[in-house]
Structure formats: C-alpha cells, structure tokens
Amino acid sequence: MMRKLAIAKVFVQRSASYMTVISAGSLLFLVADSLKKYGFDYSVFYLTPILFLGSVLVSLLLGYLDLKSGMYKQELQWGSENNPILVEILERIKKLEQK
C-alpha cells in the first residue's frame, strides 16, 4: 500500500511540474492582455508565445548556471545524506567492509 502511495506521489509531483509550465503560460497571456490597458498596441496572440519562449529560455539558462555553479550537485549530496534508506545502505556496506 505504501509503495503505491509513493508511486502516486511521484506521478503527482511530475504532473505538478508540467502544470506549472501551463500555469506560467496562462499567466503570461493575462499579463500580455492587461498591457493593452497601458497603451501597448500589439496582438496578444503574437506576444504571448514570444514571452513564453523567452521565459523558457531564461529558465534553461538559470538551470544551466545552477548546474555549472555546483548548486545542483550540493542539493543532491545533501538530499542523499538525509535519505534514511541510503544512510542505512551505507552503514551496511561499512559493516561488510569491516568484516
């Protein structure tokens, strides 16, 4: 039962990341539409994809910089150190090495 719940949680987390992208696109559409009130003359249907593509490119750049700066590696290392299952496995390996 717990395994099925854990798998369901992973699926929900994966779908949440996709929903975030969809939500960002919707928000950009609303922002582009509301800019007309401030005198910007353009077609919302042309500006929204440009803003969306720009935000995806900026996100990719930030992800690349995060990877190159070593932050991603530190996050994984910290997560691994605080994972009780991994800690237990490492302790068992140390016990086997000592024998």
pLDDT digits (tens, 9 = 90+) for 38-69: 887 777 777 778 888 888 888 888 888 888 88
**pLDDT band (50, 70, 90) for residue 93:** very high
Residue 79: predicted pLDDT = 78
Q: Is the pLDDT of residue 14 over 80?
A: no
Residue 79 lies in a domain: no
Residue 54 lies in a domain: yes
Residue 94 lies in a domain: no
Residue 88 lies in a domain: no
Residue 58 lies in a domain: yes
| Average predicted confidence (pLDDT) for the chain | 82
Residue 14 lies in a domain: yes
Judge residue 32's burial from the number of C-beta atoms within 10 Å of its C-beta, 0-12 exposed, 13-18 middle, 19 or more buried.
buried
Q: What is the CA radius of gyration of the chain?
A: 22
Percentage of residues in the chain with pLDDT exceeding 90? 3
> Of 62, 65, 54, 7, which is closest to residue 31 (Cα–Cα)?
54
Contacts of 33 (CB under 8 A, 6+ apart): 44
Q: Which domain holds residue 60?
A: 2-70
Residue 52: predicted pLDDT = 82
Residue 97 lies in a domain: no
Residue 87 lies in a domain: no
| Number of domains within the chain | 1
